[in-house]
Structures are given as C-alpha cells and as structure tokens.
C-alpha cells in the first residue's frame, strides 16, 4: 500500500528516529503486525519544531484564500484515496469498514469546512475615542503549535486538529497515538501531495515510554506558541501544568462521564434505539459515549427490558469490535468485577468474549449500580451499559452532575419545559436532547470542569489557534 508509511515526517522528508529505534503497530482484532514506525524522542522533536518554525516564516504570509485552496485540494486527494485510508485505519484500530468509512466522511467534511473558515478570519476597526488615531484589531496565527492526538478516532481527530491549525495560519508538530499512528502519517503524505509546503505539518511518532518526553519538549519549547491535546484527563493535567510556567496557550479535549437520562416523560423506544449508538459506538471507546444510564422510576422496567433485548442483537466479533489494547481490556474487566463485587446485577455479558480474539468483551448490561462503583465514577470506555434508577427530576440532574467531568450529556423527555429546565442545569459542554452523538463541523465541541478547556469545530475552533492583536496608529 502506497500510503502505509514506516517513517515519520520532518520538513517534508520521511525520516527515521535519530536513535534508529522503531516500534510495531498491531491490529487489535487479531494481534497481527501491520507495520513499524520510528520510536522518536526529544531530539527528533526539536528538529520537527525547528522545521515547523522555519516553515511558519513563509506560511504566515500565505493568504487565507491561498490556504483555503490548498486545504480543499487536500480534501479532494483524501477523498480520492479513501479506500486505502480506510484499510489502514481499520487495520490499526480494529474498526469495521463501515466505521472507518464514517470516520473518513467526518474527516473530509472537516477539512472542507475549515478550508472555508480559512477565508473568514476577520479583524475589526474599532472607533477611536480621540481624534487622530486609527485602531485596528487583527487576528493572527499563534505560530507553531503542538498537536497530540488519541487512538479512538485517530484519523479524524488528528486530521481535524491539523486542518484547523493550518486554516488559522499556524504550522504544526503532530504526535499521533502510539496504538494508531499510521492513518495520520497517510493523510499527512496526502497533504504534501496536495501541495501543502514542507515543514508546515511535521509528525513525530513514538511508543508510549517516550510520549512524556515528547510532550514535555513541545510544552517547554520557546518556539511552540500553543498546544492542542485530545486524550485522557490524567495526561491533559500534565500538559496543562507543563504549559503553565510558560503561560502557553493550550486547548484540552479530555475524558467524559456522560450521563444518559431517561425521564418519565421520555419516548422510551427512542431512548433505547439511540442508546445503542451512544453506548456502543466504537465499542464504547468514545469520549462522549454514554457512561451512566440514569432512568426515572416509572419507565425504569420498560427501559431496562427493551435495552436488554436490543443489546442481545449485538455480538462481539460481528457487529461489535475489539477494545483497543490490553490496558483498555483490563480496565473494562476490572470495572465489571468492581461492580459485581459491590452488589450490582449483571443482566447480560459481564465476561470477555470467547473464541473471537483476545481483546473482545461481551456487550454487557448492569443494573443495581451505585454511586460507589467505578462504572459510575469513571469513564468506562467499553461496551458496558450501567443503569441507575432515580425518583425525581432534581435527583436525576444531581446525579448527572455528580462527576468532575463535563463533556457530553444526553437526556430524553417530551415535556417542553423540562427540556429547557434540564438543558440549562446540566453541567457539560454538549447536551443532546432526544438525540444521540451528532457533532457537525459547525458545532463548538468541548467540555467543562475536568473535561477540558477550549473548543474544536466551528469558528471558535479557529480561535484556539489565533490571537487578537491591537494596533494603534497615532499622529494621523
């Protein structure tokens, strides 16, 4: 496959690590090796930062319309190579071809959207309170940015960070996830094919042991003007701290603990149907996957029995993929055991799936969940639906907010005043009412509390990569 790379990319050149070290990438479906890429470190990262900094000296003078044209070309080339990209993405993540295709579709629409936004980065002329002065507000790109991305939607999330940074006029150094770096390398090759100049996008790859030194090199470099990270809250906190002493801009898209509230007034069939998407998307490995099902008394039995029937239609290895790696797998097993030991009732599943592959877990439904169980307090990131009963609207909302996280929330209600009341009181950056995961490019996506700061998507996503400069021209 032409797009399956075994090198990282610095200043438009495919390069090995200075140390020559590499690490293997394996398919989580069957453990097969699909490639190997450089295991880089801080030394390689410095080279990438320098290349990005040099490229910025000319990229900053490329106009918004010129950037837009290049990014549109990138979208076209990605589209034309979609089949191969999906194969690479499926191999490194274990995604079905349908899920890979969906990720590709989102990526292409994201590139197209930000290609348009590149043309609309406007400033202002502010009226002067005194005569003889002209006051301008310009939006300028931050400069070189560091982008660290996760494995669950590696191609889409990586590609969207890159395109937003480039649309804003920044150049970048990308550190893709160790589990799934290949699709990022492929789309960056296509960006070069589309004519994006060398040095504008640099990619440094590494296995887990070097991730922290690369992260630190990026956060501490004087040439890096901003960081953008998607991943766990634990790593987000480290990066936030590392940026602190340098007063460096950082946007963080971190973990969630999405409540999925079903009120007595809900259309229960709809809530069940959409729960299957919110919960089981990519085997539950999405930061906005439904985490805690909070169901009101009167509809509780109906919801649980209908959801149980619906979950029986999914089978690990058929329409449910694997967990990403051994850590994820252990985590899910541990969470279910924790719930079991604290008295929860396992209605379905509750075990690794047999005879499919080492990383497959049975679709699971648990009732009798309490606020002390890990499936309630932590992000599950697996195919486990944990259900809690509540009595009043107030209690339901209180439970929904009973977490340090605040990324996504879902609720089902057919009572108009309840819809407005609850939407207002839910503490999260995104709320879906009578709906499931839907994040169009125009939506400002991001969390509150320990789920992060800053937004991705929409013109607000561009704001993360620009600053406003006030220019006062006097003595006129």
Tokens at 75, concatenated: 């979208």
Minimum Å gap between C-beta 48 and ligand ADP is 14
Q: What is the DSSP string of 5-18?
A: -SSEEETTEEE--T
Residue 237 or 372: the one with the smaller Cβ distance to ligand ADP is 237
232 near ligand ADP (CB under 6 A): yes
CB of 148 to ligand ADP, least distance (A): 5
- Minimum distance from CB of 151 to ligand ADP (Å)? 6
Report the interhelical angle of 297-311 vs 268-280 (nearest 10°).
50
Q: Where are the beta strands (DSSP E) in 240-301?
A: 249-253, 258-262, 290-296
For residue 29, the tally of other CB atoms under 10 A from its CB is 20
Those residues whose C-beta lies under 8 Å from the C-beta of residue 146, and which sit 6 or more positions away, are 49, 172, 173, 175, 218, 219, 221, 224, 226, 227, 228
Closer residue to ligand ADP, CB minimum distance, 230 or 367: 230
- Binding residue (CB under 6 A) for ligand ADP from 126, 135, 211, 399: 211
Cβ-Cβ contacts under 8 Å for 335 (sequence gap 6 or more): 373, 374, 375, 378, 380, 382, 384
**Would you call 362 helix, strand, or coil by DSSP?**
coil
Binding of ligand ADP at residue 161 (CB under 6 A)?
no
Q: Which stretch binds ligand ADP (CB under 6 A): 209-217, 295-303, 359-367, 394-402?
A: 209-217
Catalytic residue among 87, 103, 253, 456: 253
- Per rule CB under 6 A, is residue 248 in the interface with ligand ADP? no
Q: Are 150 and 179 in contact (CB under 8 A)?
A: no
Cβ nearer to ligand ADP, comparing 35 with 396: 35
238 binds ligand ADP (CB under 6 A): yes
User: Could you say which of 28, 94, 141, 231 contacts ligand ADP (CB under 6 A)?
Assistant: 231
Using rule CB under 6 A, residue 259 touches ligand ADP: no
Under the binding rule (CB under 6 A), the answer on residue 154 touching ligand ADP is: no
Query: Would you count residue 38 as binding ligand ADP (CB under 6 A)?
Result: no
Among 148, 173, 185, 201, binds ligand ADP (CB under 6 A): 148
Least Å from the CB of residue 331 to ligand ADP: 9
The answer to whether residue 352 forms part of the interface with ligand ADP (CB under 6 A) is no
Q: CB of 408: closest distance to ligand ADP in angstroms?
A: 16
Q: Is 178 in the site for ligand ADP (CB under 6 A)?
A: yes
Q: Site for ligand ADP (CB under 6 A): which residue of 235, 275, 375, 431?
A: 235
Q: Does 69 bind ligand ADP (CB under 6 A)?
A: no
177 near ligand ADP, rule: CB under 6 A:
yes
253 is catalytic: yes
CB of 147 to ligand ADP, least distance (A): 10
Query: Do 319 and 287 form a contact (C-beta atoms < 8 A)?
Result: no
Element holding 190 (H helix, E strand): helix 182-193
Residues in the chain: 476
Q: Which is nearer to ligand ADP, 377 or 458 (CB)?
A: 377
Please identify which residue in the block is written with the tokens 């561009």: 462
CA angle 151/157/161 to nearest 5° reads: 130
The H or E element spanning position 448 is strand 448-449
**Of 149 and 451, CB closest to ligand ADP:** 149
Pair 1, 86: CB distance under 8 Å: no
Give the residue with the Cβ less far from ligand ADP, 171 or 184: 184
Numbers of helices and strands, H then E, in the chain? 15, 22
8-state DSSP, 87: H
In whole angstroms, the minimum distance from the beta carbon of 211 to ligand ADP comes to 4
**Cα gap 151→24, rounded to integer Å:** 15
Among 160, 175, 279, 282, binds ligand ADP (CB under 6 A): 175
Q: Which residue is nearest to ligand ADP (CB)?
A: 215
Structure tokens at 291: 């985490």
Radius of gyration of the chain (CA): 23
Of 156-164, 174-182, 339-347, 349-357, which part binds ligand ADP (CB under 6 A)? 174-182
Tokens found for residue 144? 């070189």
CB of 231 to ligand ADP, least distance (A): 3
Residues that bind ligand ADP (rule: CB under 6 A) add up to a total of 14
How far is 179 from 167, CA to CA, in rounded Å?
27
Q: 79, 140, 212, 370: which one contacts ligand ADP (CB under 6 A)?
A: 212
Quote the CA–CA distance of 167 and 74 in Å, as a whole number. 12
CB nearer ligand ADP, residue 324 or residue 347: 324
Q: Return left, alpha or beta for 401; rule: phi > 0 is left, psi -120 to 50 is alpha, else beta.
A: alpha
What are the angstrom distances between the C-alpha of 341 and each of 108, 112, 294, 369? 46, 50, 21, 11
Q: Which stretch binds ligand ADP (CB under 6 A): 107-115, 228-236, 275-283, 407-415?
A: 228-236
Chain residues binding ligand ADP by CB under 6 A are 148-150, 175, 177-178, 211-212, 215, 231-232, 235, 238-239
- Residues with catalytic function: 253
């Amino acid at each position: 496959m032409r797009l399956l790379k075994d090198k990282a990319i610095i200043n438009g050149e495919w390069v090995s690590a200075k140390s020559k070290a590499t690490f293997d990438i394996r398919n989580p479906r069957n453990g097969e090796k699909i490639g190997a890429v450089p295991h880089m470190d801080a030394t390689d990262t410095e080279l990438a930062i320098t290349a990005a900094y040099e490229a910025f000296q000319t990229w900053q003078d490329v106009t918004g319309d010129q950037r837009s044209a290049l990014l549109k070309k990138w979208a076209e080339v990605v589209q034309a190579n979609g089949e191969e990209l999906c194969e690479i993405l499926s191999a490194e993540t274990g995604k079905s071809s349908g899920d890979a295709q969906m990720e590709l579709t989102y990526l292409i629409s994201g590139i197209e959207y930000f290609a348009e936004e590149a043309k609309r980065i406007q400033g202002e002329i502010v009226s002067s309170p005194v005569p003889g002065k002209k006051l301008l507000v310009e939006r300028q790109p931050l400069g070189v940015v560091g982008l660290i991305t996760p494995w669950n939607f590696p191609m889409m999330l990586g590609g969207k960070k890159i395109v937003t940074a480039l649309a804003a006029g920044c150049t970048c150094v990308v550190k893709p996830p160790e589990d799934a770096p290949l699709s990022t390398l492929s789309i960056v090759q296509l960006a070069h094919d589309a004519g994006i100049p060398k040095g504008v996008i640099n990619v440094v790859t590494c296995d887990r042991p070097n991730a922290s030194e690369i992260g630190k090199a990026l956060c501490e470099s004087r040439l890096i003007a901003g960081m953008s990270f998607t991943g766990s809250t634990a790593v987000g906190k480290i990066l936030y701290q590392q940026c602190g002493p340098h007063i460096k801009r950082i946007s963080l898209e971190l973990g969630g603990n999405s409540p999925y509230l079903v009120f007595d007034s809900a259309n229960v069939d709809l809530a069940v149907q959409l729960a299957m998407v919110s919960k089981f998307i990519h085997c539950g490995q999405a930061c906005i996957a439904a985490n805690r099902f909070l169901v009101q008394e009167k509809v509780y039995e109906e919801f649980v029995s209908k959801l149980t029937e619906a979950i029986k239609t999914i089978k690990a290895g058929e329409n449910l993929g694997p967990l990403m790696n051994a850590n994820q797998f252990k985590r899910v097993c541990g969470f279910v055991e924790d719930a079991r030991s604290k008295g929860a009732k396992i209605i379905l599943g509750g075990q690794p799936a047999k005879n499919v592959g080492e990383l497959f877990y049975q679709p699971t439904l648990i009732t009798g969940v309490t606020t002390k169980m890990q499936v309630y307090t932590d992000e599950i990131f697996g195919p486990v639906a944990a259900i809690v009963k509540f009595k009043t609207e107030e209690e339901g909302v209180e439970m929904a907010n009973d977490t340090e996280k605040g990324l996504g929330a879902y609720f089902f209600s057919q009572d108009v005043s309840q819809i407005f009341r609850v939407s207002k009181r839910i503490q999260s950056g995104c709320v879906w009412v009578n709906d499931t995961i839907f994040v169009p490019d125009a939506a400002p996506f991001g969390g509150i509390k320990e789920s992060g700061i800053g937004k991705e998507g929409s013109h607000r996503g561009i704001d993360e990569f620009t600053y406003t400069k006030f220019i006062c021209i006097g003595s006129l």
